[in-house]
Amino acid sequence: MTTAAVRAQAGTDERQDLRNVAIVAHVDHGKTTLVDAMLRQTKAVGGHGDLEDRVMDSGDLEKEKGITILAKNTTVFYSGPAAAEHAGTEKVTINVIDTPGHADFGGEVERGLSMVDGVVLLVDASEGPLPQTRFVLRKALNAQLPVILVVNKTDRPDARIDGVVSDTMDLLLGLASDVAEENPDLDLDSVLDVPVVYASGKAGRASTEQPADGGLPENEDLEPLFSTILEHVPAPRYDADEVLQAHVTNLDASPFLGRLALLRIFNGTLRKNQQVAWARNDGSVKTVKITELLATKGLERVSAESAGPGEIVAVAGIEDIMIGETLTDLESPKPLPNIIVDDPAISMTVGINTSPMAGRVKGAKVTARQVKDRLDKELIGNVSIKVLPTERPDTWEVQGRGELALAILVEQMRREGFELTVGKPQVVTREIDGVLHEPMENMTIDAPEEHMGAITQLMAARKGTMTTMTNNGTGWIRMEFMVPARGLIGFRTKFLTETRGAGIASSYAAGYEPWKGEIEYRISGSLVADRAGSATPFAMINLQERGTFFVEAQSEVYEGQVVGENSRNEDMEVNITKEKKLTNMRAASADSFEGLTPPVKLTLEESLEFANDDECVEVTPESIRIRKVTLNASDRLKESRKKKSAAQ
Averages of pLDDT over each 10 residues, the chain, 648 residues: 58 81 77 82 57 52 56 81 84 83 63 84 85 76 85 88 88 78 68 85 89 85 91 88 87 76 89 90 87 82 88 86 86 82 84 90 89 87 82 89 82 90 89 89 86 90 89 82 86 80 79 86 86 89 88 91 90 89 59 72 86 90 91 86 78
pLDDT confidence of residue 50: 47
pLDDT confidence of residue 48: 39
Amino acid, single-letter form, for residue 259: R
Q: How far lies 206's CA from each of 222, 223, 512, 583, in Å?
A: 5, 7, 41, 77
Question: In terms of CATH architecture, what is 525-647?
Answer: Beta Barrel (2.40)
Q: Are 484 and 477 in contact (CB under 8 A)?
A: no
**pTM for this prediction:** 0.76
Q: Are 96 and 73 in contact (CB under 8 A)?
A: yes
At residue 101, φ and ψ (nearest 5 deg) are -100, -5
CA proximity to 42, closest of 82, 15, 71, 87: 82
Extract the annotated binding site for GTP. 28-33, 152-155
pLDDT confidence of residue 140: 80
Fold type of domain 245-328: Elongation Factor Tu (Ef-tu); domain 3 (2.40.30)
| % helix, strand, coil for the chain, step of 5 | 25, 30, 40
Q: Which CATH class is domain 430-514?
A: alpha beta
Domain locations in the chain as residue ranges: 17-234, 245-328, 430-514, 525-647
Extract the annotated binding site. 28-33, 152-155
> Which residues 6+ apart lie within 8 Å of 313 measured at CB?
262, 263, 265, 270, 293, 294, 295, 296, 304, 307
Q: Are 183 and 145 in contact (CB under 8 A)?
A: no
User: Fold identical between 245-328 and 430-514?
Assistant: no
Query: For the domain 17-234, what is the CATH code?
Result: 3.40.50.300
